[in-house]
Structures are given as C-alpha cells and as structure tokens.
Amino acid sequence: MASFAAFNEFLKWYEDRLNSGSTASVEHTTHTSTSFVGITHSNSLGHWVLDSGAIDHITGNKSFFSFISTSSYLPSITMANGSKVSSHGVDTIHLFPSLSIDNVLYVPGSPFNLFSISHLTHSLDCVVLLLNILFVYRTRVRQIIGNRCESHGLYYLRTSVHVCMVMDSPSLLHGQLGHPSFAKLQQLVPSLSKLSNLACESCNLGKQSRNSFPISISQRASSLFALNHSDIWGPSRVKSNLGFQYFVTFIDDFLRCTWLFLMKNCSDLFSIFQTFLNEIKNQFGVSIRILRSDNAREYLSHSFNTFMKSHGIFHQTSCAHTPQQNWVVERKNKHLVETTRALLIHDGVPQRFWGDAILSACYLINHMSSSV
C-alpha cells in the first residue's frame, strides 16, 4: 500500500509539472551508440546501472571511496557467467553533497557500477518508476535522485547535480533550520524570495492545532525579567532515551527568549527554578520580579511559595482549568512540540529521542527572529 501511495503521489506531482511546463530541467535522453565503451572498456567507470537482479551495490572505481573498510566477512560476488570474484572493501559513496549511498562493495576489475534496486529503495526510502521514462524518486522529501539514460536495454542512472539540488535545496534548508514558517524561511534565505510556496508533509502532520482562544490584552514587560512565564509539559507517552517524561519552560516576557529544562518528575521543578534564578542573577545581574504560571500543584507547594516570598518574587496564576490565559508559554510549548515532532518525522528518528530534539528545537527558535 505504501508503494502504491508513493506511485500515485509521484504521478500527481509529475502531471502538475507537465501542466506547468516545468519539466525542462528533468532531461531524459536515449543513447543510440552501437558500442559498449561506457560499460566495458572505460577506465573511469563513471556511469551507474540500475539492476533489479543485483543483491548489493558494486563498483570497480576506487576513486568513489574516501575510505574503504575491509573485513573477512565481505561477500563474494557471483557474476553473470557464473564466475566468482571477491570484494575488497565496503564504504559509503557520495554522489553529490545531499545524497550518500551506503554499503557499496569495492570489486577491483569490475567493468561496471551496479546499483541494487532493492537496496536503493530500502535505504533511501524511494521508489523506482518505469514509465515511458524512469525516475528514482524520494517521496518523503520529494526529491528526484536521478533519471534515466538508456543504452542497449540498460538503464543508467543520471545523477545530475542540477536536477537534484535545485529541487532539494529549499526542503533541505527548511528541515535543517527546524521547519520554520515559509515567510521566515524566505527572510533567512533571500535566494528563496521568488519561491511561491513550499509544501512540507512533516509540517502538515506535526503542526496541526485546534481553534484559537481569544487573547486578552495585557501590558508587555518593559525590562528584562520583569515578568517571566512558566509551564510544565507532560507526561510524554514515550520516555526519552535518558528517562525524561516532562519539560519546564521559562520565558522572559520582554525578549521572549526561552529556557527549557528536561525533567524526570514534576517534583524536580523547585530545584530547577532555584538553578534558573541563580543563573539569571549571575549572568544578567537582575532577578525575576513576577512569575506567571498555571495552578499546577508544583507551583503552589509550600516550599516553592516560601522560596518565592523570601526572594521578593510575586507569583501570578491563571484561572483554574483555563490554560489559554497562560497563552504566552502555552503557545511557546505548542511551537516547541510541533517543531520537535516535525524534526522527528522528517528524519525518521525514533520518538525516544524527543528530549534531544526538543532541546535542538528550543536552540533554533531562540536564534530566529520573532514577530514580537
């Protein structure tokens, strides 16, 4: 079902490109030469053949490798005539900066370069489509890896940097920067200012939200740490790889800069707040005047309130069962979780690494421009 869906997705995408007349950048030509120089007599071995019968990727061109790993467990290769040859190493090759192929066997003397279609589709999560033309297409990132170049019934993979990089570059930058909004991406990367839109399936899946709640007008803080917003998120349905289930955020109302701390238990809040307050005093020479939070019992504990009063910090709380009143930190948590979810979905990372991903998301968001 996944392959059929990917096939339909590509057909729709290709039809849209045909209708818009934008298929000029994807060339597909047929070589009519009567010699097999490119496959049997060339020393450069620059062409790659897509082979549905090959079990492994094979090349005889050592220049493709930056480092060749050797092992006594490397498989022997059975050739088409029944003879067997030994592989002398295995490594990753880089066709161009945005695409790497893993587990390519080095077979000295091999007169050809073979891409195993079964390995290619599994390792790159792509589909190989044989229509009147051939494409190798990565559905998750909507990237064409290459198109065909046919000679004597063999399909050579044309890995054009122009074809692949132009299509992949906006999506690649979008993913590396933490899936920012399209307008913000265009501000960060001026070369994308002429791009009309950017479809990101990971953003569509990771940033769904319910209807907004009316925001009451309040006075913005006029100085650093005059007002600080805080909230605890959790528990997560999946523990992080280090056992965290919660995180707490502290947001300065003046700068809207966010501090995020992972927690194994909600009871860790008091010690984390003490650490955060000491950091603010030492690094900025000021103290928090007002802390605004919801009515979570961790904020209302006797030890927490006693500590707040001893440091002259005024504690404001929202109405019970109305998290929308604490909208600054609630929206920030929503932004953090959505960005984290998009990062995990985009790169296929297991959910147990959400702790590392949300710290990265907080770092990226803090270093980007804010509408406020």
Q: How far apart are CA 162 and CA 24, in angstroms?
A: 12
Specify whether 151 is located in the same domain as 300: no
The mean per-residue pLDDT over the stretch 140-163 comes to 60
The pLDDT of residue 75: 80
Q: How far apart are CA 275 and CA 109, in angstroms?
A: 64
Hey, what amino acid is at 261? F
Q: Where are the alpha helices (DSSP H) in the chain?
A: 2-20, 117-124, 161-176, 182-188, 201-206, 269-284, 302-310, 327-347, 354-366
- For 104, residues 6+ apart whose C-beta sits below 8 A from its C-beta are 56, 57, 58, 59, 64, 65, 90, 91, 92, 93
Q: For residue 359, is pLDDT > 90?
A: yes
Cα 94 from chain centroid (whole Å)? 19
Q: Could you give the angle at which helices 327-347 and 161-176 cross, rounded to 10 degrees?
A: 150
- Asked whether residue 240 is domain-assigned, the answer is yes
- Asked whether residue 276 is domain-assigned, the answer is yes
Specify whether 274 is located in the same domain as 162: no
Name the percent of the chain lying above pLDDT 70: 74
Specify whether 97 is located in the same domain as 21: yes
235 or 21: which carries more pLDDT confidence? 235
Q: How far apart are CA 144 and CA 185, in angstroms?
A: 22
**Number of folded domains that form the chain:** 2
Last residue of a domain, one of 142, 173, 204: 173
Specify whether 165 is located in the same domain as 264: no
The mean per-residue pLDDT over the stretch 284-291 comes to 93
pLDDT tens, residue by residue, 3-21: 455 555 555 655 555 555 5
Q: What DSSP string describes 199-232?
A: --HHHHHH-------PPPP-PPPSSTTSEEEEEE
> Which of the residue ranges 53-67, 187-201, 263-277, 312-326 has the most confident prediction, judged by mean pLDDT?
263-277
Residue 329: C-alpha distances to residues 259, 313, 371 (Å): 11, 18, 15
Last residue of a domain, one of 173, 199, 234: 173
Q: Identify whether the C-beta of residue 82 lies closer than 8 Å to the C-beta of residue 145.
A: no
> Which of the residue ranges 42-51, 77-86, 163-172, 208-217 has the most confident prediction, judged by mean pLDDT?
77-86
Q: For residue 216, is pLDDT > 70?
A: no
- Asked whether residue 185 is domain-assigned, the answer is no
Would you tell me how many other CB atoms lie within 10 Å of the CB of residue 140? Answer: 16
262 or 135: which carries more pLDDT confidence? 262
Last residue of a domain, one of 173, 190, 210: 173
Task: Find the domain containing 319 and state its range.
Answer: 219-366
- Asked whether residue 328 is domain-assigned, the answer is yes
Specify whether 53 is located in the same domain as 143: yes
The mean per-residue pLDDT over the stretch 270-296 comes to 94
The pLDDT of residue 163: 40
Q: Return the closest-CA partner of residue 220 out of 359, 322, 361, 370.
A: 370
- Asked whether residue 183 is domain-assigned, the answer is no
- Asked whether residue 122 is domain-assigned, the answer is yes
